[in-house]
Structure 1
Amino acid sequence: MRVGLGLIVPAEARSLFRRALEGLDGVRVRWGVYNDEASIRSTVEQVLPDCDALCFAGPLSLERALPVIPEDMPYADVVPTPLDISLSFLRARALGMELTPASIDSVPEHLVVDLLAELGLARDSVAVLPFDGRTGPEEIAEFHRRQQSAIGARYALTARNSVFHLLDGTLGAPVVRVLSTASTITATVRELSLRAVSIRKEDLHLSAAIFRAEPSPDDAVPDAAERIAAVLQSTMGWKDAWIDVRSGTEVLVLGHKKLMRDMTHQWRSLDLLDQLGDVVRGRVVAGFGLGESTRSCVHYATLAAERAHHAGVSCAFLLTEQGVVLGPLLDTGERPTRYRFKSDDAALERLSRQTGLGVATLTQLIELDRRLDGASISAEDLGTSLNLTATSGRRILRALRQDGLAAAVGSSQPSTRGRPKHLYRLRFSEFLRDETSSRHDSADIGDERTGT
């Protein structure tokens, strides 16, 4: 599966990025090359239609582009690593300069502090201006000029191309670029591509929806299903799905999971219900089903529609093969959706008692684990996924790690500001697979004992 990757880079960095991508399979590159920082946003808008993910040359281009990046599109920026910063100092040394004193901008301060400590150099021998998207090139250039008198800086290191052009030949001292190495770029692109592939695979899973008319007994509409199908076929989004009238009151819709998720605003609401109710002169309910096959998708959609019927109002529910129940989804979207798990699943009840987490929380975590498909997640992102605080996310991860349901896998520095985030991998899929295997083994033993 090839990933459409948008690379947003300054013109000077294109050759470096091209070299970093040599030999990288499964990536279809869409270049977004800009000559000045003011054109970053328009450059991103031009490449977006052809992209599954966006990779930025640095935090500045990412920050400029954030307002136009779709909510569900993965992205990353290439951030200088300790090796990249060390090589920048060595380039200055190659020019005949002593390592310190010096000034550097737009890099994580703690990386410079750690480097100086490793080299046995004084902390105040290098002035650091961390990245801040609100700081313009002129202000950064002035920072370097001040450090010449403040600490006697003999040269300047900058990660901003615009600052380099301002200072080069005017500072009265060498100006050295802080450049990410090809290996840093390759690692960032590879991780981003894997995330994009995981999302695309998830989006391409089949899903089913059942729309069921429940007209008033005193005002029955004989062609209710045909009317529902006509509305769906004329509605942007739904018309891209396969729509079939199953009976006088029921319509089956088949489509990719992404389509269903988009049409329900991430499984939060279903805008068409009131309109459909008007055309059939009664109530309309809907059910969505996610499974491994067409048959299972339709089966769970039918069960979800039945659950919506018993809710007593026009609404929809989602049921998945993993047992997740999400709903009710209302037309207004004002009422928050609720998560539940099948009440007859004893494994989840036992797990709830074991971890001290509620069944509702565990259900959301299982669905999150399925979406991640082996990818890692931070405590902050886990909290956001559950509509909780980062503190709650850390508390949940501690409980999961104690019971072997999450494992630490490393850390990441998604931007130049703040501390690295610890990353974890959820292990619910393994737990449920083991539980299923245990139940099957128990059933086999029972069959042997009874001779069946």
Structure 2
Amino acid sequence: MPIVIGLVVHASHQSLFEEATRTLSGVRLAWVAYRHEDEIRPRVEEMLGREHVHGLLLGPVPYAKSRDLLPADLPVAVVRSADLDLSIAFFRAAARGWRPTPVSIDTFDPEAVDEITRALDLDRRQVTCLPYDPEQSVAQIVEFHRQARERTGADYAISLRTAVTAELRAAMPVLNALPGTATIRANLHELALRIQSRQATASRFAAGVFLVVNQEAQADLDRTRIGLMNLLVNTPEFSDAWIENRDRRGVVVFAHKALFEQATHSWVSLPTLAQAQETLGVRLAAGFGVGASARTCVQLAEWAAARAEQEDTPSAYLVEDSGVIIGPMSGSASPLAYTYRGHGDDLEDLARRAGLSAATLSRLAALERTLAGRAISPSDLASSLGITDPSGRRLIRKLGESGLVTEEGSAQMHRKGRPTRLYRLAISPAVTGETS
């Protein structure tokens, strides 16, 4: 299934973007072309309803007009003209016989203007700059250029806004400093790589095999296997895993790799080993396998468990299809154990009302305590619980419907990305009879 990337562009610029996309294969493009800025929002909304896009490439204006429509976990690249594009605009002016300064420029960052004027040995005092502001209207930007011409005698303007260029042409010469194909291509390739990385991470599953060591009596093995199943099912990190009896000695667990990373403190220790020895009175050997298929995962986990079985104490090993072997891991206390050990009626009732399992709600309460009042993004919540980003987003929605989470604004995680919504968990206040 190919990656689908949506592109939101002015109709007059589509051919430029098409040229930039020619080096990209294995990607299907969903185009949104507009001629007037008031068309952006409804057309983006229509495209999102029609297409399942894996990412979105658009300029600052389309992003400002439609950002609240975009799903929280949708990778987005906002194309901004680079320093090279501004340099090219100055050379285009020179090719037309225009003096390089005085000039007025909109939308570029002042830092970029400073750098280019220094590189071209221009008088920065004769270059008037209006940084990008999503709240600025076309009329305000046009007025800025007109006033700059009256005040400094600017011979021409450099603009990134197509609508500004169209309105300003009657009053003064203007160059539209569009992003070049190299800038567009770099943003597009970076977005495609980000999408591929997310998909690869989201699809990386692992298997765990838990073996009971040195217990021969069949009756004892049956009781121990039932006890081991209960222990694993009630392990918070495995609440979303698939668990079943493996054979006469053990149990197999299949889950997202992140679940096992959390259960083992990033492949350092496995508290379940110590818990089994304490509660069941048996020694366990555990093996984890990470591979390209479920069959490979289980085969590698079996090999790792067999190696762990040779140790003198309860231990675990990890084997990856890349050849990496990690171990032995020993038992230790878990930092994300149940917040409510016995669950209790209050937690059970709250879980039913929220449409969640008591185990999941308890893990959320434990996570809430580790956050100590800090807000968290849906992606970070998913990572902490060892689930996929879409599952984390759905969980946030469920919690919001039950009043168990509150929105706490947003944060800009990356310079080129868009703000991510943040949420504060509110599990503990909703539960009475809380125990440590």
TM-score (norm 2): 0.53
Deviations 1:314-366 (A, max 9, x none): 789xxxxxxxxxx97417956644679xxxxxxxxxxxxxxxxxxxxxxx9xx
Cα RMSD over matched residues? 4.6
Instruction: Quote how far apart the aligned CAs of 1:121 are.
Output: 1.7
The AA in structure 2 aligned to 1:312 is G
Is residue 2–residue 26 contact of structure 1 (8 Å, CA) maintained in 2? yes
Structure 2: distance between partners of 1:78 and 1:177: 15
Is residue 165–residue 176 contact of structure 2 (8 Å, CA) maintained in 1? yes
Instruction: Quote how far apart the aligned CAs of 1:96 are.
Output: 1.7
1:202 is matched with 201
Instruction: Quote how far apart the aligned CAs of 1:95 are.
Output: 2.0
1:330 counterpart SS class? helix
Instruction: Quote how far apart the aligned CAs of 1:47 are.
Output: 2.6
Structure 1: distance between partners of 2:163 and 2:148: 19
Is residue 97 of structure 1 aligned with residue 98 of structure 2?
Answer: yes
Structure 2: distance between partners of 1:24 and 1:88: 27
Pick the aligned partner of 2:56 from 33, 54, 57: 54
Q: Map residues 316-331 of structure 1 onto 2, 5 A cutoff.
A: 329-330=360-361
Is residue 40 of structure 1 aligned with residue 40 of structure 2?
Answer: yes
Instruction: Quote how far apart the aligned CAs of 1:112 are.
Output: 0.7
Is residue 108–residue 131 contact of structure 1 (8 Å, CA) maintained in 2? yes
2:80 counterpart SS class? coil
1:145 is matched with 146
The AA in structure 1 aligned to 2:101 is T
Instruction: Quote how far apart the aligned CAs of 1:313 are.
Output: 1.6
The AA in structure 1 aligned to 2:74 is M
Q: Map residues 375-386 of structure 1 onto 2, 5 A cutoff.
A: none
Instruction: Quote how far apart the aligned CAs of 1:63 are.
Output: 1.8
1:182 is matched with 181
Is residue 193 of structure 1 aligned with residue 182 of structure 2?
Answer: no
Deviations 1:102-154 (A, max 9, x none): 10101111111111112222111110000000000000000000011111111
Q: Map residues 18-417 of structure 1 onto 2, 5 A cutoff.
A: 18-48=18-48, 49-56=51-58, 58-169=59-170, 171=171, 173-206=172-205, 292=291, 293=294, 295=298, 311-313=341-343, 329-330=360-361, 336-337=367-368, 414=416
Q: Percent identity?
A: 30
Is residue 57–residue 79 contact of structure 2 (8 Å, CA) maintained in 1? yes
Is residue 59–residue 77 contact of structure 1 (8 Å, CA) maintained in 2? yes
Instruction: Quote how far apart the aligned CAs of 1:182 are.
Output: 0.4
Paired residues, number: 277
Instruction: Quote how far apart the aligned CAs of 1:205 are.
Output: 2.9
Deviations 1:266-321 (A, max 9, x none): xxxxxxxxxxxxxxxxxxxxxxx995546499999xx99x96599322789xxxxx
Structure 2: distance between partners of 1:193 and 1:19: 16
Q: Which runs of 5+ in 1 are unaligned?
A: 210-240, 247-251, 261-288, 317-326, 341-363, 372-386, 394-411, 417-452
Is residue 159–residue 175 contact of structure 2 (8 Å, CA) maintained in 1? yes
Is residue 74–residue 195 contact of structure 1 (8 Å, CA) maintained in 2? yes
Is residue 59–residue 415 contact of structure 1 (8 Å, CA) maintained in 2? no
Is residue 329–residue 337 contact of structure 1 (8 Å, CA) maintained in 2? no
Change (3 A) 1:333 1:207: same
Structure 1: distance between partners of 2:106 and 2:100: 16
Structure 2: distance between partners of 1:45 and 1:25: 26
Change (3 A) 1:95 1:67: same
Instruction: Quote how far apart the aligned CAs of 1:94 are.
Output: 2.0
The AA in structure 1 aligned to 2:89 is S
Instruction: Quote how far apart the aligned CAs of 1:197 are.
Output: 0.5
Structure 1: distance between partners of 2:37 and 2:363: 41
The AA in structure 1 aligned to 2:76 is Y
Structure 2: distance between partners of 1:120 and 1:155: 18
Structure 2: distance between partners of 1:131 and 1:309: 48
Structure 2: distance between partners of 1:23 and 1:135: 35
The AA in structure 2 aligned to 1:311 is R
The AA in structure 2 aligned to 1:4 is V
1:15 is matched with 15
Is residue 206–residue 291 contact of structure 1 (8 Å, CA) maintained in 2? yes
The AA in structure 2 aligned to 1:62 is Y
TM-score (norm 1): 0.52
The AA in structure 2 aligned to 1:118 is A
Structure 2: distance between partners of 1:68 and 1:18: 25
Structure 2: distance between partners of 1:338 and 1:199: 28
Is residue 79–residue 415 contact of structure 1 (8 Å, CA) maintained in 2? no
Deviations 1:234-291 (A, max 9, x none): xxxxxxx999998xxxxx9978789x9xxxxxxxxxxxxxxxxxxxxxxxxxxxx995
1:414 counterpart SS class? coil
Change (3 A) 1:64 1:144: same
Structure 1: distance between partners of 2:127 and 2:178: 18
Structure 1: distance between partners of 2:44 and 2:253: 35
Is residue 339–residue 366 contact of structure 2 (8 Å, CA) maintained in 1? no
2:4 counterpart SS class? strand
Between the two structures, name the one with larger relative contact order (CA 8 Å, sep ≥ 6). Answer: 2
Is residue 54–residue 75 contact of structure 1 (8 Å, CA) maintained in 2? yes
Structure 2: distance between partners of 1:339 and 1:54: 34
Is residue 206–residue 297 contact of structure 1 (8 Å, CA) maintained in 2? no
Is residue 116–residue 123 contact of structure 1 (8 Å, CA) maintained in 2? yes
Is residue 203–residue 257 contact of structure 1 (8 Å, CA) maintained in 2? no
2:190 counterpart SS class? helix
Is residue 8–residue 33 contact of structure 1 (8 Å, CA) maintained in 2? yes
Structure 2: distance between partners of 1:336 and 1:310: 12
Change (3 A) 1:336 1:309: closer
Structure 1: distance between partners of 2:256 and 2:31: 28
Is residue 5–residue 55 contact of structure 1 (8 Å, CA) maintained in 2? yes
Structure 2: distance between partners of 1:64 and 1:208: 45
Is residue 339–residue 365 contact of structure 2 (8 Å, CA) maintained in 1? no
